[in-house]
Amino acid sequence: MLTVQESTPPAPASAASDASTPPAEDCSIVTRGLTKRFRGGQVAVDRLDLAVPRGAVFGFLGPNGSGKTTTIRMLLGLIAPSAGSWELLGTPMADGPGAVLSRVGALVEGPSFYPYLSGEANLRRYDAADPAADPRTATARIGHALDRVGLAAAAGKRYRAYSLGMRQRLAIAGALLGPRELLILDEPTNGLDPQGTREVRALVKEIAQEGTTVFVSSHLLAEIEQMCSHVAVMRAGRLVAQGPIAGLRAGEAVRIRVETPDAAEAADVLAALGLSGVRTGEGEASAELGAEAAERVCAELVAGGVAVRGLAVQRPSLEDMFVGLTGEGFDVDG
């Protein structure tokens, strides 16, 4: 395992460590104390301990500038860490990137293709630049990659005529020209319109269903929530938490929200039921539901003479989880 020594003392145990963290042999990515310090003393990534389960769609979440792209560059061997060690697909990177990177596809900081060439011609040039690619199988592999991302019908179309979503899918096709066990995507939906975003989201899910681990970096909470099974939360270069999304959400309370012109009276009923965290606002009242049944709450409100216009059980979102962990928020929708 490639380890870089430095004089910084070891990090204390933190909430980022999770009892549900899978063992290293069951992970596609493992980092231990991974750190990047730039000249001038700026620490972009600070003692990062990641564990990405095999077969997961893993969201690497954090605001812009939180260290996500720097981490990805270290994972792929594009820049050297200041300290720490890491493994990809069970292979220590001390063995050299060539031992494993042929099984890893990546899209970092957006696609770059020749606008006057077709999608297929661009992939041919991309494939020819890969010393590990077999030119005898190029036609079959390019055709399969285009079909896999839904661009077979547009293979002969010039890249400049592609929509943003098509361009992003072509970039993912480039990352899938060979058999990949791990796909690393840096902000794959950044700048896309809703249709393009849906296309990429659906493609990521399909790739994961075929057995490939997908590591998705994003600052868009809503996208990660719809796409991923697991998540790691970064803030200012540090890992705040990681694990299955459902497990991380478990610490956030489910609330019941009542839409009513009788907000004060509704709040009294909610308090009388023993619900905690009662709040009122214009035309509404809410509280933590706890173990109480929503049906009983509704019945008690009606019995108490409260005019109920609407009632909703609000389960914690990824945004609620992030705010709870960090005390701040960031762009939810971009």
Q: List strand residue ranges (DSSP E) for the chain, in order.
A: 27-37, 43-48, 51-53, 57-61, 83-88, 91-92, 104-107, 182-186, 213-218, 230-235, 238-244, 255-259, 279-281, 284-288, 310-314
Predicted pLDDT at 224: 83
Those residues of the chain that have pLDDT short of 50 are: 1-19, 332-334
Predicted pLDDT at 333: 46
Determine the 3-state secondary structure of 334 from DSSP: coil
Predicted pLDDT at 7: 36
**CA–CA gap between residue 217 and residue 60 (Å, rounded):** 4
Predicted pLDDT at 328: 59
**CA–CA gap between residue 91 and residue 106 (Å, rounded):** 17
Predicted pLDDT at 252: 65
Predicted pLDDT at 15: 41
DSSP 238-294: EEEEEEEHHHHHTTSPPEEEEE-S-HHHHHHHHHHTT-SS-EEETTEEEEE-TTS-H
Predicted pLDDT at 188: 86
CA dist 161 → 24, 96, 107, 294 (Å): 44, 39, 21, 52
* Domains of the chain with bracketed CATH: 24-249 (3.40.50.300), 255-326 (3.30.70)
The pTM score is 0.77
**CA–CA gap between residue 45 and residue 34 (Å, rounded):** 7
**CA–CA gap between residue 1 and residue 176 (Å, rounded):** 27
Predicted pLDDT at 327: 59
As given in the structure block, the two tokens for residue 218 are 């994003």
**CA–CA gap between residue 215 and residue 94 (Å, rounded):** 21
Predicted pLDDT at 187: 86
The amino acid at residue 190 is N
Predicted pLDDT at 117: 96
Distance of CA 334 to the CA centre of its chain: 14
Predicted pLDDT at 325: 65
CA angle 110, 116, 120 (to 5 degrees): 70
DSSP state of 34: E
Pairing of strands 83-88, 27-37: antiparallel
CB neighbour burial string for 63-95, b if at least 16 within 10 angstroms, e if fewer: beebbbbbbbbbbbbeeebbbbbbbbbebbbee
Predicted pLDDT at 220: 79
